[in-house]
Structure 1
Amino acid sequence: MTIATTERLVLRDWTESPEDLARIYDIYSREEVMRWLGGGAGRMTDPAQARERVDRWRERYGPYAGRWGIWAIAPRDADRVAGSVLLKPLPGRDGVTPTDDIEVGWHLHPDSQGHGYATEAARAVLAREFATGTPQVYAVVMAGNEPSMAVARRLGMTHLGVRTDWYGGAELETFVLRRPA
């Protein structure tokens, strides 16, 4: 299912197609990607884990009927997905229980970084979310992930400093964007 489109991108559900599964594995098995996602926890080591990941995403985000989830960023002029964009409730200090705080995020394959895809995809899902009345959305970034902090700034997000409100109390650089008036 397509959830949003932009001039250059189609944001859609990840599928169980061989191409999507191979790309998921290629993204989420890479140390250079996973080190910024919980310090590498959840890094794939077997291609079969890609199907499990899609199933887990469907189970976790299915009840939200497309409002929240993790979606493939598919450039219109490319034959492969660039990465993922996500919009979801942030997990609390226990690392599991969803809070009322909403997070936007992005995970791109290294070969797709530096093209503006993360910023463009995040703008699209932010616009959708703000249209529902959500007053603000957060981005949380591990210290040292300068490219992701730059995306947050390009989105117009305000840096709030380091916070420990979510993901089991991890210290995360926190950015917020408030719904336009």
Structure 2
Amino acid sequence: MAILSTPRLLLRDWTDEPVDLTRLFDIYSRPEIARWLGATSGLPLTDPAQAADRLASWRRRHADHGDRYGTWAIEVRDTGVVVGTAMLKPLPGRDEKILTDDIEVGWHLHPDAWGNGYATEAAEALLDREFATGTPLVHAVVAPGNTASTAVARRLGMTHVGRRTDWYGGEELETFVRHRFA
């Protein structure tokens, strides 16, 4: 079931169906993805069974959020192919077990899907929906050197506010913000 749709995409829950778990493993086992997701991310995945564990951890993380926050599959409407993940969630603090009041929008796309605007389209839909709830500000955090994600943040109209160490265990991250009335 889609939680959100755009002209080209469906954002939906990842399932524990073999096709989804295979795709999840394919995305998160890739060094070109894992290199940007931090030392504490547990990536890259090295065994296909880890995909089910990753999905279970996302479900636990978002169990109390309903559909407002989550980690969703990005599916292309015309093909049914999952091209990546979009997320909207409270940022974990320096102690990663404690969530902050800061909201993050994020994306991880399979390399085969890079350059098609899917990350921007999915994230824009999540931002619009979140701002409609009254949230005044949403963050995107990007590993230094990740020029592709920096470009997505800029296409979303987000403003770079420098490097911060407030989240994800104190990791230094390029921080972008977008205000509701931007």
Query: How does the TM-score come out when normalised to structure 2?
Result: 0.96
| Structure 2 counterpart SS, 1:121 | helix
Q: Specify the alignment match of 1:91 in structure 2.
A: 92
Residue of structure 1 in register with 2:71 after alignment = 70
CA deviation map 1:47-102 (0-9, x unaligned): 01111111111111021001001000001122420000000000111122100000
Tell me, what secondary structure is at the counterpart of 2:63?
Answer: helix
- The Cα of 1:140 is off from its aligned counterpart by 0.3
- Alignment RMSD, CA only? 1.1
Q: Does residue 56 in structure 1 map to residue 57 in structure 2?
A: yes
User: Is 1:45 equivalent to 2:46 in the alignment?
Assistant: yes
1:116, CA displacement in angstroms?
Answer: 0.2
In structure 2, the CA distance between the partners of 1:146 and 1:40, relative to structure 1 (3 Å rule), is farther
Q: Secondary structure in 2 aligned to 1:45?
A: coil
Q: SS at 1:22's partner residue? A: helix
- How far apart in 2 are the matches of 1:41 and 1:7? 32
Provide the C-alpha distance between the structure 2 equivalents of 1:87 and 1:138, rounded to a whole number of angstroms. 10
Q: List structure 1 segments (4+ residues) > 2 angstroms apart after TM superposition.
A: none
Aligned partner of 1:134: which letter? T
Partners of 1:80 and 1:5 lie apart in 2 by 14
Measured against aligned partners, the alpha-carbon deviations of 1:10-48 in whole angstroms (never above 9, x if no partner) come to 000000111100000000011000000014741211101
Instruction: Tell me the equivalent position of 2:155.
Output: 154
Counterparts of residues 1-181 of structure 1 (less than 5 Å): 1-39=1-39, 41-43=41-43, 44-180=45-181
Offset from partner CA, 1:98-153 (integer Å, 9 cap, x none): 00000000000000111000000000111111111100000000000000000000
Does the 8 A contact of 1:88 with 1:104 survive in 2? yes
Whichever residue aligns with residue 115 of structure 2, its letter is G
Q: Answer whether contact 1:19 1:80 (CA < 8 A) is retained.
A: no
Instruction: Give the gaps of 5 or more residues in structure 1.
Output: none
Alpha-carbon distance between aligned partners in 1 of 2:158 and 2:134, rounded to the nearest angstrom:
18
Distance in 1 between residues matched to 2:14 and 2:68, nearest whole Å: 15
- Length-normalised TM-score, structure 1: 0.97
Q: Which runs of 5+ in 2 are unaligned?
A: none
Q: In structure 1, how many angstroms separate the alpha carbons of the residues matched to 2:137 and 2:31?
A: 31
Distance 2:13 2:98 in 1: 24
Task: Report the identity percentage.
Answer: 64
For residues 30 and 40 of structure 1, the distance between their equivalents in structure 2, rounded to whole angstroms, comes to 16
Aligned length: 181
